[in-house]
Amino acid sequence: MTTQILKVKGMHCASCASIITKKLSSVPYINSVSVNYGNEKAKIDYDESRVSIDVMNKEISELGYSFVMGENQVNAEHNHTAPKENELDELKNKTEFIIPITLVVFVLMMWDILARTTTWMPNLPIPMALFNTISMVLATVALFWVGKPYLLGVTRFIKHRVANMDTLIGLGTLVAYTYSILVTLSPSLGVLLRVPEYTYFDVTIVVIGFITLGKYLEARSKKKTGDAIEKLLNLQSKTALVIRKGNEVEVKIDEVVHGDKIVIKPGSKIPVDGSIIEGGSFIDESMITGEPIPVEKNVGDSVVAGTINTNGSFVFEAKKVGKETLLSQIIKMVEDAQGSKAPIEALADRVSGIFVPIVLIIAFVSLVVWLSVGSQFIGFSQALSLGILSFVSVLVIACPCALGLATPTAIIVGVGKGARNGILIKDAASLEHLHKADTVVVDKTGTITIGKPSVVDIHNKSDLSDESLIGIIASLENKSEHPIAHAITQYAKSKNISLKTASDFSIIQGKGLKGVIEGKEYFVGNAKLIEVLGVSFDQKQLEKYTAQGKTPVLMSTKDTFLGFVMVADEVKKESKDAIASLHKLGIKVIMLTGDDEKTAKYIASQVGIDEVMAHVLPEDKMNKVKALQDQGRIVAMAGDGVNDAPALAQANVGIAMGTGTDVAIESAGITLLHGDISKLVKAIKLSRITMRGIKQNLFWAFIYNIVGIPLAAGLFYPIFGWLLNPIFAGFAMAMSSVSVVSNSLRIKAKKL
């Protein structure tokens, strides 16, 4: 099976997405289809050996839609912007044409209404016959050019029995226009049928004008919801300065290959991922991680595409190119997440699927009731006039656009905001589930702690200086591959302590090592090694430190104890504040670790964790998460190791630290770049803000239709004399979509 994400052209509402989904789902060898109206994309899982995109395109083109090829290509940035810009330009041209006409006609229409109903307003300064003729010409242009998409909706309904928003608008305006044409061109027919002389050309013009304006404003706002992707794409460098045959050559980014030596000058973008081999600098990684402070990079450090070199110059070797780079993966993840559907969206999809047919029935029923019942009380002529108004108003106001935009626009903005803050959301479901989380389970190593042991204490019991003591220990440990040995040697290098040559070096299995430095034999290792030598030392002092989760490295000669250093995995400076913030959000925090209980509890006490589960084997972590879920808890799990992957997959929401393994990141629904646990708090806040926005959108979309349709149908006319004019119905419909998108855009401004 192959999965493609394709841009869809021609969608105007949520029911369009539903129509395309149904059509493609009926095509053989297509496994699944998900069409997102918010970003106008279709995610299709299909057997490419049995069915092609051309075949799919032909299927939907019959309904008036089409695919824009190449949209799924991450690096083809022109495909992200060009189709959208072209559609927007076309809509802009139509809007600029119709709106001045709409405003003039609207003013004249209101003038005529006031002249008919009041004594103080004079009649129109032009003859009604001339006004009708001009209105007829303008209405014809408005309907058949500006309103062409809506007429196609009527055609689609007649030919394929599928209806959407275009069908409603097209049918309503076409009925008003056709009636007006008949009355204008055949006055005798109007006399015969006893219909009013009043025409609805103005209604046709103004409704199409207002709806077109609303569509244009909606399209502009929707474009802003995808700003995150555009900004990420703009981070990509177009070229790279590569060393080829000893010369610096500028090549296109897609010509860079693994192993290329790339020169980076001050102010330049990093074109691909790699590792510095010469020089150093400070790199601005804020565009990817959200962290504003430039990070120092030297030989051996990694750099990622899209980040900016601030001042120094360096050369690095390309390790990941093209779609392998972190930036490309981020873009792909954000795209997929914005195109995915949250579970809450299923409600809107179900409603939109049955909404349009129901509205059509309501519109026809309201017309029939007006003609059959209304004519008995107010006469046939007036009943027909009001019936047509009701028919058109119901069709116009009952647009499912706001309903269809409610969820996807909020998801798109929320995912984009997360990406700008170093929070990568894999799918919309993860974003939705996270706001319900009442329990956060965290791993210790790499999540609460840095994940790398380092020297935290030096206890010198000799006449040697601290530097000399560390120098000797590091000189011996430099021969070892153990992580603790590496921590000590790195510490010595950071303090510019030179290492000395050790001779007669040997490893004492399970205890430590020994060697001769400057003619003197030294022993470095654990307490067991010193005990074997028979050298006395303060055992109780060591136990005090080991109870804090620290590992001692002791040094001695054959007869004299010289001192020890303590090595520990330090707590991340942001961990304590992050745990406190989670508590403020009403969330319980549990540490799940394979370490011993004393160490785990000590670390937990430092940062304020509520509960500790220690001595947990990798295979048992998943079971511990499941046990919490069985208690009715909604669990978010944060981890970074391979051993965390099953638990991350089991949790309601898996959260991987960006510094962790690829397996952990793949198993998680959310990834926190740079492994900053404080971003977990931001992720939860973002989820809550986004879900609040979705619920607000859905509420107003439902309320709008619940109130608007009965009013348009004339349900309140016998009681209060209330009847909604199609013009105001069109304006209300257009503004409802704009308001939903605008409310979603408010998420951008929210503080996390």
CB of 249 within 8 A of CB of 242?
yes
Please state, in angstroms and rounded to a whole number, the distance separating the CA atoms of residues 35 and 15. Answer: 10
Q: Could you tell me which residues are beta bridge partners of residue 517? A: 520
Please state, in angstroms and rounded to a whole number, the distance separating the CA atoms of residues 206 and 535. Answer: 98
Sign of CA dihedral 545, 550, 551, 555: negative
CA 29 to chain centre: 30
Both structure tokens of 208: 């199409």
Give alpha helix (H) positions in 344-446. Answer: 345-369, 375-378, 380-397, 401-420, 428-434
Please state, in angstroms and rounded to a whole number, the distance separating the CA atoms of residues 683 and 576. Answer: 17
- Contact partners, residue 527, CB within 8 Å, separation at least 6: 537, 539, 542, 552, 554
CA diameter of the chain: 126
DSSP, residue by residue, 153-219: HHHHHHHH----HHHHHHHHHHHHHHHHHHHHH-HHHHHHHT--S---HHHHHHHHHHHHHHHHHHH
DSSP, residue by residue, 524-563: EE-HHHHHHHT----HHHHHHHHTTT-EEEEEE-SS-EEE
The question of whether 89 is a catalytic residue gets the answer no
> Computed over its alpha carbons, how large is the radius of gyration of the chain?
35
Please state, in angstroms and rounded to a whole number, the distance separating the CA atoms of residues 465 and 467. Answer: 5
Nearest to 408, CA basis, from 346, 350, 353 = 346
Return the exposure string of 694-720: e unless at least 16 CB atoms fall within 10 Å of the residue's CB, then b: bebbbebbbebbeebbbbbbbbebeee
State the DSSP H helix or E strand holding residue 80, giving kind and residue range, or none if neither: helix 78-117
Nearest to 28, CA basis, from 67, 57, 56 = 56
Please state, in angstroms and rounded to a whole number, the distance separating the CA atoms of residues 161 and 152. Answer: 13
Taking each continuous run of H as one helix and of E as one strand, the counts in the chain are: 28, 26
Token pair 């010469």 is found at 278
CB of 27 within 8 A of CB of 56?
yes
> DSSP state, 487?
H
Length of the chain: 752
Hey, which bits of 259-374 come out as E strands?
261-264, 273-279, 281-284, 295-297, 302-303, 308-309, 314-320
Instruction: Identify the active-site residue in 166, 443, 595, 640.
Output: 443
Both structure tokens of 83: 């189709």
Please state, in angstroms and rounded to a whole number, the distance separating the CA atoms of residues 91 and 74. Answer: 27
Could you give the residue numbers annotated as active site? 443
